[in-house]
Chains A and B, each alone.
Chain A
């Protein structure tokens, strides 16, 4: 095979974790593509002026969307780190000999980045919510109301 030198020469995926990660990569890929379409539409609303854009953005500023935002961040991060793992397995000559180690390293990097980021996103939500809302707003109000009283 003339092109053999371009790619990893070792073994191939044989089920178990690597295969579940293969499915995970497809699922998060399709989900992120779906979100990307929504994101382009809602971002393009800025062309209609500040009122329309900020009116649409206000919907995203309730707590339920903050939970979804953390999920989105996790999906992007996991897809990215898993993508780097796939590149390593496929293009590094010895990559496929170290699949187990690469799986563990990927998971450790994911947790190491995701946990502190999640903490920051939750913490900063309540800080800003209490700061921007009208006086007397409680943490419970920040969680339950569908649309915040600021834009």
Chain B
């Protein structure tokens, strides 16, 4: 494949180097899928479905208690 000067923005996978390079490249893409769910989900829960004007100590405490409760329910 001929590489031209205008191609500097390309994202060609690092096939020629060690396989670590390639798996690092691959990890960036797969972990991105997880981040989309976690980060965008968090933004929707905190900023769209709830409003940050209602954010206080109680709200955060309730979220933690809910999380811990769910985890314990899942364990037993």
The CA of A89 and the CA of B32, in the complex, are separated in Å by: 14
B39 within 8 A of A: yes
Indicate if the CB atoms of B57 and A54 lie closer than 8 Å.
yes
Contact of B48 among A89, A120, A128 (CB under 8 A): A120
**Are B51 and A53 interface neighbours, CB within 8 A?**
no
A32-B35 Cα distance, complex, nearest whole Å: 13
Number of B interface residues in the complex (CB < 8 A): 32
Instruction: Give, as a whole number of angstroms, the nearest-CB distance from B28 to chain A.
Output: 9
What is the chain B residue whose CB lies nearest that of A76? B43
B32 touches A117 (CB 8 A): no
Complex Cα–Cα for A76 and B35 (A): 10
Q: Which residues of A contact B60 (CB under 8 A)?
A: 46, 53
Residues of B within 8 A of A46 (CB): 57, 60
Among residues of A, the one whose C-beta sits closest to the C-beta of B58 is A50
Top-5 shortest CB links A-B: A19-B9, A50-B57, A12-B10, A13-B10, A128-B53
Binding site for A on B (CB under 8 A): 1, 6-7, 9-13, 15-16, 19, 22, 26, 29, 32-33, 35-36, 39-40, 43-44, 47-48, 51-57, 60
